[in-house]
Structure 1
Amino acid sequence: MGLISTAAVGVAALALLTPGVAAQSAGQCSGVTGRYQPRMGAGYKYSVLATGLRQPRHIAIDSAGNLLVAEGGAQSVRRIVLRDQGDIVCAQSNSQLSGTNTNHGLALSADGKTLFTSNLASVFAHTYDASTGAIGASKQIITGMSNTGTHPTRAITTSRFSPDTILVARGSNGNIDTATTQQSTGRSMIKTFSISKGMQTVHQYSSGGEVLAWGLRNIVGLRENPVDGGIWSVENQMDDLRLNSRDIHNDNPAERLSYHGQLNATTNRYKGLNYGYPSCVPAWDPANVGVSNLVVGSLFKPDGVPNANDCANRMTGRLHFHAHTAPLDIEFNANATQAYIAFHGSWNRNPAQGFRVMRVDFKDGQPVADVSSRTAQIPVMENTGNCPNSCFRPVGLAFDAKGRLYVSSDTSGEIYVIYGAQ
């Protein structure tokens, strides 16, 4: 299917769906039919906003309430003008923002006047007018991030509490990147950079900026808590794990939600901490690891990694998730009592796991659940089809001012809207 029309899109009256879905669907926009019918958690409904997009990845709501979508398949950004129609929101028009360059990353400055994008090698800045969609020439502000192996995406986010700061994550050069035991590689880490300095002289990723956290295999989603300014990341951990020549990869290691402190804090005790990769990985199913005294999240040394005698002294995540579920984004509601996480789903597991949006409850800036919990995730939006081949695979998340949560699905080329997420 091609890109959705740039002409105005109307909306029909709420459609009656099959009995099992009617209670979960909020209705549909005219001419927009989703490929799948998600199963929704208690209190949530959904609608399909757009179809036919080219691998939509990270998304954002601009200061005028429009939806910006990084289309990985088009290496550019699409702007969708939104319009309320009864109980749902629909696309009034959409257009491609010329001159943008991204395969995944997308962020807006604190004042909404600068659009940042990222690709394999670089981060770019563009002046941006949310009311008209006018965009200025591309300005490279960070470069030197190309990998020869895997993990081509560069997650980026900006800070409301430290407006001159942009955070950029760069993943490993392979499943086990032994060189990342040294910070000098500039891989498997999150760095912070000055936006204003980057506009004057391009930052080199490896030698520039400041290390916020390292020993993180592949961070694909970054977000600032909108209430206290705390920085959070979601990480994709190691594949094909073995320990003492025994295959334990189906349920280990855990994916992670990690906390990195507040950028504007006088002293941030989390700044610069090492999270263990590539030498130490977190357990999801401790019983299957075969190492005594492990709990969920405990770090251990698998086969084929650099020597490690200090896993107990490395930082682990604040929460952990099932192996290979591939969390790709995290988004907070307005009062930061809930964090939503998009799990893209597994390829390195049988049967497959993930392919859903889940919620984690927060209080006073931290998850309510204990670090070793296996039940911290609350279902929001799940597949009913055959994954990974015949289902939606969520990537990007963004809230609008009315508390509606937008979700991109790259493999199906769709944008969903979740209602009740506030």
Structure 2
Amino acid sequence: MKKLHRGALAIALHAATSFCACENVLSPSHQTPVLASGWQGQLIANGFTKPRSIHFDTAGSLIVLDSGVGVRRVRLEDKGDTCLSVTENELLIDDTELNHGLALSADGKTLYASTVSSVHAYSYDPQAGKVSPNPRTVISGMSNNDHTTRTLLMSRRSPGRLIVSRGSDENFDVDALDLSSGVSQIRVFDLNKLGDGDTYDFNTQGRVLGWGLRNSVGVDEDPRSGNVYSVETSVDEITRDGVNIEENNPGEELNFHGKADERGDVGNYGYPYCYPLWDTDVPDNEGLRVGDVFSVTQNSTFNDTTCQEEYVPPRLVFPAHTSPLGLLFSEDGETLYISFRGSFNPKNPVGYMVSSVAFSDGQPVERVSSNTALSDVMTNPDLSRCPDECFRPVGLAWDKEGRLWVTSDSTGEIYVLKRTGAGGSGSGGGKGTFVTGSDESRARGRGVAVGVAGAAVVLAGLIAF
């Protein structure tokens, strides 16, 4: 019994001191995020121009693709929980053409970053924080307008295979009907087979993981099954039989693409003519339900049946215009985290959140007809203030302590989230704890610390007794 009391005392004292150790806490530039039950969060860094993709290198540094600036290396002092502070923030790669994609090789010694047209490879020393001055171009031929990000994902199942996503040239791009155009596609390239000085052409080389994909910015690989998934930001200004249905349709998509090391190209996912329903209140809707793929036109040669029989359907559908841009599996493959950057139209703001989806055996638990597959993890408290006064999440990454890192490109901020108890996958409810630098939050922190310290005193008395 005496040992039990001393253990409890140690825990109480640790909890009390952890609140005091975190000094100079940053406050979000706009609204303080709301966290789900079982989560704690904190703003760790700000002042970036447009932070998009992030990764941790083998030395524990946070590598940030700051769009229009280059790649930054951020060193952190870690005092536990979400109490971290930046000790160094240096420009690792000075290249204003870099705009989104970022990946690291399996050994951490090669860094990949993307421009609108190309993927560059840099020799990287994570301990010294240095890259080679002259990068090698490993993939080229991707220039187009409108959707200009090029997401990069290095396969963990098959090291050396780099997955690259390229979006459409415009909102409704008929070039996506032509596989040789290279637009609206996800391809995988085996860099192990790339000769010295050689460069892959995106349009003619690599294996197609999917085409007919308007703009699949978020891509990740289930670490257990090796299954590759993407999230699709779908079309705007859509009509059906001449009726505008863009307010709540089409749904954003979660798509399945097989494994990076499988053979053979994967099919067409329907863009620019086929889309999944989110709101079934559309013309000629008999028999349609959430997730069903429909055609923007109904005629004898192209209709709903054509879409449903000849194209690959999504695995899940999310609310229209929420704009999913980041995708990240938990290490056990049981949860998929998605960053929704949010709608560009302030008439009816939606998205602006990090949410989670339950997985089992490499597949979503919910059916494609579900409209409740998402569990919120981190949200803005007042969407009516979006997009101008909201965080807009994009990049997601895990650190070695299992904490979830999130970038907000609109505010130039980087957050860290930590699971603290039950409901940690994201259960909504707004009962988590977000630590801010405000007087009120510091007072709350002191109050908790005093309460825990008081409990420690009581326990100490019990031990002494």
Q: So what's the TM-score if we normalise by structure 2?
A: 0.81
Residue 286, structure 1, aligned to residue 287, structure 2: no
- Match of residue 370 from structure 2: 373
8 Å CA contact 2:104–2:111 kept in 1: the answer is: yes
Give the whole-Å Cα distance in 1 for the aligned partners of 2:202 and 2:22.
Answer: 44
Listed one character per residue, the Cα deviations across residues 190-223 of structure 1 (whole Å, up to 9, x for unaligned) are 0111213446311111111111111110011111
Residue 167, structure 1, aligned to residue 163, structure 2: yes
- Match of residue 223 from structure 1: 220
User: What is the identity percentage for the equivalent residue pairs of Structure 1 and Structure 2?
Assistant: 40
Listed one character per residue, the Cα deviations across residues 216-271 of structure 1 (whole Å, up to 9, x for unaligned) are 10011111111221111011100011112211101000101111112234x67xx4
**1:40 to 1:278, Cα distance in 2 relative to 1, 3 A:** same
**1:66 to 1:29, Cα distance in 2 relative to 1, 3 A:** farther
Residue 69, structure 1, aligned to residue 68, structure 2: no
Aligned partner of residue 106 in structure 2, secondary structure: coil
TM superposition shift of 1:85: 1.2
Structure with higher Rg: it is 2
The count of corresponding residues between Structure 1 and Structure 2 is: 394
8 Å CA contact 2:251–2:278 kept in 1: the answer is: yes
Give the whole-Å Cα distance in 1 for the aligned partners of 2:46 and 2:202.
Answer: 35
Residue 180, structure 1, aligned to residue 184, structure 2: no
Give the whole-Å Cα distance in 2 for the aligned partners of 1:161 and 1:197.
Answer: 17
TM superposition shift of 1:140: 0.7
**1:407 to 1:336, Cα distance in 2 relative to 1, 3 A:** same
**1:56 to 1:304, Cα distance in 2 relative to 1, 3 A:** farther
Q: Could you tell me which amino acid in structure 2 is paired with residue 352 of structure 1?
A: P
Give the whole-Å Cα distance in 1 for the aligned partners of 2:358 and 2:297.
Answer: 35
Select 1:53's aligned residue among 33, 48, 54.
48
Q: Could you tell me which amino acid in structure 1 is paired with residue 223 of structure 2?
A: P
TM superposition shift of 1:14: 3.8
**1:12-31 superposed matches below 5 A:** 14=19, 30=24
Residue 391, structure 1, aligned to residue 387, structure 2: no
Residue 246, structure 1, aligned to residue 240, structure 2: no
Select 1:152's aligned residue among 148, 151, 158.
148
- Match of residue 195 from structure 1: 191
**1:69 to 1:228, Cα distance in 2 relative to 1, 3 A:** same
Aligned partner of residue 274 in structure 1, secondary structure: coil
Give the whole-Å Cα distance in 2 for the aligned partners of 1:236 and 1:86.
Answer: 36
TM superposition shift of 1:312: 1.2
8 Å CA contact 1:106–1:116 kept in 2: the answer is: yes
8 Å CA contact 2:353–2:393 kept in 1: the answer is: yes
Give the whole-Å Cα distance in 1 for the aligned partners of 2:292 and 2:275.
Answer: 8
What's the Cα RMSD here? 2.1
Residue 104, structure 1, aligned to residue 81, structure 2: no
Aligned partner of residue 390 in structure 1, secondary structure: coil
8 Å CA contact 2:151–2:218 kept in 1: the answer is: yes
Give the whole-Å Cα distance in 2 for the aligned partners of 1:403 and 1:211.
Answer: 32
Aligned partner of residue 100 in structure 2, secondary structure: coil
Q: Could you tell me which amino acid in structure 1 is paired with residue 28 of structure 2?
A: G
Q: So what's the TM-score if we normalise by structure 1?
A: 0.89
TM superposition shift of 1:31: 5.8
Unmatched 5+ stretches in structure 1: 1-11, 16-26
Q: Could you tell me which amino acid in structure 1 is paired with residue 33 of structure 2?
A: P
Aligned partner of residue 355 in structure 2, secondary structure: strand
Listed one character per residue, the Cα deviations across residues 131-156 of structure 1 (whole Å, up to 9, x for unaligned) are 22111131111111111x31011111
Bigger relative contact order, structure 1 or 2 (CA pairs below 8 A, ≥6 apart):
2
User: Which moved further from structure 2: 341-350 or 43-52?
Assistant: 341-350
TM superposition shift of 1:173: 0.8
Give the whole-Å Cα distance in 2 for the aligned partners of 1:336 and 1:139.
Answer: 33
**1:405-416 superposed matches below 5 A:** 405-416=404-415
Q: Could you tell me which amino acid in structure 2 is paired with residue 154 of structure 1?
A: R
Give the whole-Å Cα distance in 2 for the aligned partners of 1:262 and 1:29.
Answer: 45
Decide which structure has greater helix share.
2
Aligned partner of residue 96 in structure 1, secondary structure: strand
Structure 1's consecutive aligned runs of 4 or more residues displaced over 3 angstroms after TM superposition are 12-15, 196-199
Aligned partner of residue 126 in structure 1, secondary structure: strand
- Match of residue 339 from structure 1: 336
Give the whole-Å Cα distance in 1 for the aligned partners of 2:126 and 2:224.
Answer: 24
**1:203-214 superposed matches below 5 A:** 203-214=200-211
8 Å CA contact 2:240–2:282 kept in 1: the answer is: no
- Match of residue 3 from structure 2: none
- Match of residue 400 from structure 1: 399
TM superposition shift of 1:415: 0.1
**1:253-402 superposed matches below 5 A:** 253-265=250-262, 271-303=265-297, 308-309=302-303, 310-313=306-309, 314-348=311-345, 350-385=347-382, 386-402=385-401
TM superposition shift of 1:293: 1.6
8 Å CA contact 1:29–1:48 kept in 2: the answer is: no
8 Å CA contact 1:29–1:49 kept in 2: the answer is: no
Give the whole-Å Cα distance in 1 for the aligned partners of 2:179 and 2:381.
Answer: 43
Listed one character per residue, the Cα deviations across residues 354-403 of structure 1 (whole Å, up to 9, x for unaligned) are 00000111111111111111001001000024111111000000011211
Q: Could you tell me which amino acid in structure 2 is paired with residue 298 of structure 1?
A: D
- Match of residue 233 from structure 2: 236
**1:358 to 1:199, Cα distance in 2 relative to 1, 3 A:** farther
Aligned partner of residue 168 in structure 1, secondary structure: strand
8 Å CA contact 1:280–1:308 kept in 2: the answer is: no
- Match of residue 37 from structure 1: 32
